[in-house]
Chain A
Amino acid sequence: MKIQIKNGRLVDPANDLDAPLDVFIAAGKVIGLGIAPDGFQANRVIDAKGLIVCPGLIDLSARLREPGFEYKATLESETEAAVAGGVTTLVCPPDTDPPLDEPGLVEMLKHRARGLNRAHVLPLGALTMALAGERLTEMAELTEAGCVGFSQANTPIQNTRVLRCAMQYASTFGYSVWLQPQDAFLARGGVAHDGEVATRLGLSGIPVCAETVALATILQLARETGARVHLMRLSSAAGIDMVEEARSRELKVTCDVSVQHLHLSEMDIGYFDPLARLDPPLRAVSDRDALRRAVATGGIDTICSDHTPVDDDAKQVPFSECEPGATGLELLLPLTLKWAREMKAPLIDALGRITSNAAQVLGIQSGHLAVGAAADLCLFDPQAHFRVTREHLRSQGKNTPFLGLELLGQVRMTLVAGHTVFESGH
């Protein structure tokens, strides 16, 4: 299949390219930009007038809920949501049931994802068996099965000795370790940021020091073990400062933030809205503002959706009893664009946070559109409005604090390896 995408505005952050260029695709790859390669005969010409043509988005955290939580979501429903959101590569955390701690589970997941032939699914293996924080998993075997890194999802290892060993072992092979900085004891029982709102609503708090204490440990161990560390879901201004300080002293760590945390704060809990219960918790407005700035300055490398589909039953309970998380695959792009508009950040920078920067964190040859790159593309209309409604969302999870919000930026077409995996009219 040979495809020509014409009349679009090509934005490729990795190559610092923002220009009205046609894209020529053959055999699943980009084979030309601007001028058609010799003898190119398109089977299909796509008119991208008024659209942005960019690399397919890379989402560093999307829970697909398989295996074990199929009542919340399935690979089928969530990869459909992914491509509808322009996401062509996603990283799924290991907190399934059972957790991804055995090669067989990972192989099955990869096999199922290949069968669906939509977004590329890159699993994170469990860092410890059953995520229990005691025994290491077979990281070499898991890597062979397709894991791109190792993580505890949001179940931190309490025993610092085990954490140190896990990081040492992973670094033996150069595997990356993805950690959400949250001290298990300081966070225990907490359901909201330990601040004004939690105090007013009588919710048990998760203090900022749950993040900073864990960060201090992780950064120190990263320095000592030489492990490649990716810090997931920073939530506080103090946390950002620590990471920036460590990086200024040549420590190579990367970090991300959830797109929810760029727009919301503890105030959005309102009258106990369970949709605003997230992990890590939404923090103070000043923390949110610091996160927004850090994404602009590069203090935070990437924005992810932290997509967590939750069934209605698990949200229609009191705030402290509800399951944390928000669905987000389909909102990653419009919410990133919203951040960019509000921060007056250039479009190319915004798209870099959800394409090339994420590819760099993963260390994969993806997220760009140079000649020879895989033809993973997203075409979106930056001026198209839509309202976030339950009906609009393809994800099985309808749980998002943005329900009812009007957003700008709608995906019109998504290509994976040159195949059209999503296409919408108006």
Chain B
Amino acid sequence: MRNPQLNKSGKLTHLLSIEGLPREILMAILDIAEPFTEVAEREVKKIPLLRGKSVFNLFFEPSTRTRTTFEIAAKRLSADVINLHIGASSTSKGETLLDTVDNLSAMQADMFIVRHAASGAPYLIAQHLSATGREYIHVINAGDGRHAHPTQGLLDMYTIRHYKKDFTRLRVAIVGDVLHSRVARSQIHALTTLGVPEVRVVGPKTLLPACVEKLGVRVYHDVRQGLKDVDVIMMLRLQNERMQGALLPSPQEYFKVFGLTADKLALARHDAIVMHPGPMNRGIEIDSAVADGPHAVILPQVTFGIAVRMAVMSMLAGN
């Protein structure tokens, strides 16, 4: 079975997941992103790589940050950007996902940025486009269910490389709700592909998926052991609806046991960096003192995110 995001010659045509992508492609994206960080510092923050291209932000699930950064990235590449919040329009009128895709394809789309609550929805779209002879339309997964958020994973790698240079000597801990997290899955695949020798996941048993160790990670339930001597701490967001119920008793207890505080951070290496995909729940998964402290690289992540998304878009559809 051919990886649906690669074409016959192994070139990236869609970005659906980091899983299955070779290290060379991941490194190429990070390298391409490098010069784009300086575009933001120019007086005219635009380059013409996507001039004349139409990029559709196809968001079936609400998102502010991801949609905005994709929009900025596309605009900096001179693309025309059309934002659609489908959650509020077509599907509520009964239109199917593939009907929506067909209609927008007929409007000469060049790229779909897709956010969907169902894992695999961007695959369905990519496979449909390919089955109907429209593989020239590129699909970027901007988060599907619990499955993947590849551009987030890539921007996290960019951030790690920026601060740590070499992936092959790192110890990384991913902390929190791995079960429901597409970000965690993309991070794990990216880290293991890039040669990080030790990736840990840390969380209560209710928030870790079955057989997670098969993804190539070490499992820790004790946060203090999990953070010991790590170089990178990647915190995950805990959704409101999961803070109280059968998965967790209360946000207070979660913070007490798993929240990243200065004393827990002290167990990591002295130069450890702290990351978070946002939006943060201060006082639940992370203490403000840490989020605003010297180890946090949370705002640079956002900035790098634009460059990485520019890199992915230009790699897929650049003139």
A binding-site residues for B, Cβ under 8 Å: 194-196, 198-205, 207, 270-272, 313, 316-321
Bound: A316/B99 CA distance, A:
11
Contact A318 B97 (CB under 8 A): yes
Contact B116 A318 (CB under 8 A): yes
Q: Which of A195, A202, A313 contacts B211 (CB 8 A)?
A: A195
A319-B210 contact in complex given A202-B182, A204-B146, A272-B124, C-beta closer than 8 Å: no
B binding-site residues for A, Cβ under 8 Å: 1, 3-4, 19, 96-98, 116, 118-121, 123-124, 127-128, 144-148, 182, 185, 209-212, 214-215
Contact B120 A200 (CB under 8 A): no
A313-B96 contact in complex given A202-B119, A271-B120, C-beta closer than 8 Å: yes
Q: Which of A196, A203, A207 contacts B119 (CB 8 A)?
A: A203
Of the candidates A194, A270, A271, the one having the most CB atoms from chain B within 10 angstroms of its own CB is A271
Q: Can you name 9 A-B residue pairings with CB atoms under 8 Å?
A: A194-B210, A195-B210, A196-B210, A199-B215, A203-B146, A271-B123, A317-B118, A318-B118, A319-B119
Q: List the A residue with the shortest CB-CB distance to B179.
A: A199
Contact A316 B120 (CB under 8 A): no
Separation in Å of the B128 CB from the closest CB of chain A?
Answer: 8
Contact A199 B121 (CB under 8 A): no
A207-B210 contact in complex given A271-B123, A320-B118, C-beta closer than 8 Å: yes
- Residues on the A chain within 8 Å of B214, using CB: 196, 199-200
Contact A317 B209 (CB under 8 A): no
Q: List the A residue with the shortest CB-CB distance to B60.
A: A318
Contact B124 A202 (CB under 8 A): no
Q: List the A residue with the shortest CB-CB distance to B180.
A: A202
A200-B119 contact in complex given A205-B209, A272-B124, A313-B96, C-beta closer than 8 Å: no
Contact B212 A320 (CB under 8 A): no
Q: Which of B1, B3, B120, B128 contacts A201 (CB 8 A)?
A: B120
A271-B185 contact in complex given A196-B211, A202-B147, A203-B119, C-beta closer than 8 Å: no
Separation in Å of the B122 CB from the closest CB of chain A?
Answer: 9
Q: List the B residue with the shortest CB-CB distance to A284.
A: B211
Separation in Å of the A286 CB from the closest CB of chain B?
Answer: 12
Bound: A196/B96 CA distance, A:
30
A202-B148 contact in complex given A271-B4, A272-B120, C-beta closer than 8 Å: yes
Separation in Å of the A325 CB from the closest CB of chain B?
Answer: 18
Q: List the A residue with the shortest CB-CB distance to B189.
A: A200
Give 3 closest A-B pairs by Cβ, nearest first: A272-B120, A202-B147, A202-B146
Q: List the A residue with the shortest CB-CB distance to B178.
A: A199
Contact A200 B215 (CB under 8 A): yes
Q: Which of B4, B124, B210 contacts A198 (CB 8 A)?
A: B210
Contact B210 A272 (CB under 8 A): no
Q: List the A residue with the shortest CB-CB distance to B181.
A: A202
A316-B146 contact in complex given A198-B209, A201-B119, C-beta closer than 8 Å: no
Bound: A321/B116 CA distance, A:
12
A319-B215 contact in complex given A199-B209, A201-B147, A204-B146, C-beta closer than 8 Å: no
